[in-house]
Amino acid sequence: MKKLLILALIITISACKEEPKVDYTVVTGKITNKASGDFSIQSFDRTFEKTLEVSEDGTFADTLTVDGNSYVLYDGKNPIFMHLESGYNLNVTYDATDFDNTLTITGKGSEINNYLLSKRKNQKELFGNSKDTYSLDEAEYKEKMGSIKDTQLALLESVKGIPGDYLEKEKRNLNYSYLYKLSDYQGAHRYFTKQQDFEVTEGFLNELEGLDYNSVDDFEFSQDYKRLVTSNYRKEATDLSKKDSIENDIAFLKTVSSIDNEVIKNGLLFDHATFGITYTKDLDTYYNTYMANSTDDDNNAIITEKYNKLQALNAGKPSPQFVNYENYKGGKTSLSDLKGKYVYIDVWATWCAPCLGEIPSLKKVEKQFHDNNIEFVSISIDKLPDHEKWKTMIEEKELGGVQLFADNDWKSKFVTDYQIEGIPRFILIDPEGNIVDANAPRPSNSKLTELFTELSI
């Protein structure tokens, strides 16, 4: 009897012990017909990126330590937007040649991720063609956005197995998405209808009034909430820029620095600096303003590394090189081949709308300075599967200058050496191969021709 009591006690104690907390996520799967190139996972805030190894049969498996929620699995063509938490064990399979119809996600955590797949698919179908939707009048547009929100909410509530905490956050997120689409309407309507003086009527944005911009939970969970918060402080920064006659990017850092909430302040500072530091005209002031106000050591280390690399791109420094890039007209071209002339470089891609928007202006500038001591070079960072699309666009749009195809898209050494985080990006190099401006004015900016004239090009 005594032995039985002891055994029962042991069983009871064992049953009461907490299961060890899992602080990692397992992601496995198989890709059929995968094209060449990397397969990676990246967090939305770009603080985490890892290349996943894919075996010859297309299978992959990795264990990840995640400290956020939103990630993207990407094979170079097909993005899979995912929600990851510690303890998830997900299996992802698809045929790369029929991605939309074959993508399957199973395992622990699959309920939320399958909801996200359905949500994105429905959003795309419901929103329709951007030009048609943004060209609607105010009443029609608002009604359509409201209908999309209601449909997405019904989808969310129909899914079984979604945890209550996620459910409540996602309900708020759907409303933030609706509000962001309203705030986005004026600028998009101007763009698609070519009515640059268009203004939304008084009351159109009433639903944004009184919005709380200090919710850490929503800031970390909802990309659209973060966009709304960012937009709010951008407006304040514009006012400060005009008032104090300072550059808008510096004004934004100063405006955000007054936020009391450390998480939101640090998040906005980092999001802006990740791209902004590579574009700013006053690198030292930008960096010092950022560092004086950010209290996140990990973020600061990333921005400091960027700053140190950007020091090598100051005016007068030797330009990073590109070597043996494919030339549309045949053969290979290196930057050194163009020595003796100024070189104006346009880094672009066929999928980049702002890049395409610069083409008419670029053609005009090329024509104006055609007989001068300058070469106009366009470097496409399209991925290899879009190589033919690149060639076709050159033909159809009758692109001039020297048309080159980078050797490894975004990861090309020339692109990473110039710390290019967004396109289009324009660079001006002098006849000796030194940097004149690592962030040269765009062709549509009159300051470009002023700069060329000043340099006697």
Element (H, E) at 270: helix 262-276
Q: Are residues 219 and 202 in the same domain?
A: no
Give per-residue pLDDT as tens, 189-245.
999 999 999 999 999 999 999 999 999 999 999 999 999 999 999 999 999 999 999
Q: What is the CATH number of the domain that holds 438?
A: 3.40.30.10
In a domain, 368, yes or no: yes
Among the candidates 284, 313, 342, a domain finishes at 313
In a domain, 320, yes or no: no
Domains contained in the chain, number = 4
Q: Are residues 273 and 202 in the same domain?
A: no
**pTM higher than the cut 0.85:** no
| Domain coverage including residue 98 | 25-108
In a domain, 11, yes or no: no
Q: Which residue has the higher pLDDT, 421 or 260?
A: 260
Q: Are residues 52 and 94 in the same domain?
A: yes
400-438 exposure pattern, b = at least 16 Cβ within 10 A, e = fewer? ebbbbbbbebeebebbeebbbbebbbbbbbbeeeebbbb
Element (H, E) at 59: strand 59-64
Q: Are residues 338 and 435 in the same domain?
A: yes
Q: Report whether pLDDT(10) > 70.
A: no
In a domain, 1, yes or no: no
In a domain, 3, yes or no: no
Give per-residue pLDDT as tens, 104-160.
999 999 999 999 999 999 999 999 999 999 999 999 999 999 999 999 999 999 999
Mean pLDDT across 355-360: 95
Beta-carbon-side half-sphere exposure of residue 346 (alpha carbons within 13 Å): 28
Q: Are residues 288 and 372 in the same domain?
A: no
Q: Are residues 450 and 331 in the same domain?
A: yes
- Give the three-class secondary structure for 410: helix
Give per-residue pLDDT as tens, 44-69.
877 788 999 999 999 999 998 877 67
Q: Are residues 119 and 94 in the same domain?
A: no
Q: Are residues 263 and 365 in the same domain?
A: no
In a domain, 84, yes or no: yes
In a domain, 87, yes or no: yes
In a domain, 4, yes or no: no
Q: Are residues 99 and 117 in the same domain?
A: no
* Amino acid 4: pLDDT: 42
* Amino acid 16: pLDDT: 45
- Close Cβ partners of 157 (under 8 Å, ≥ 6 residues apart): none
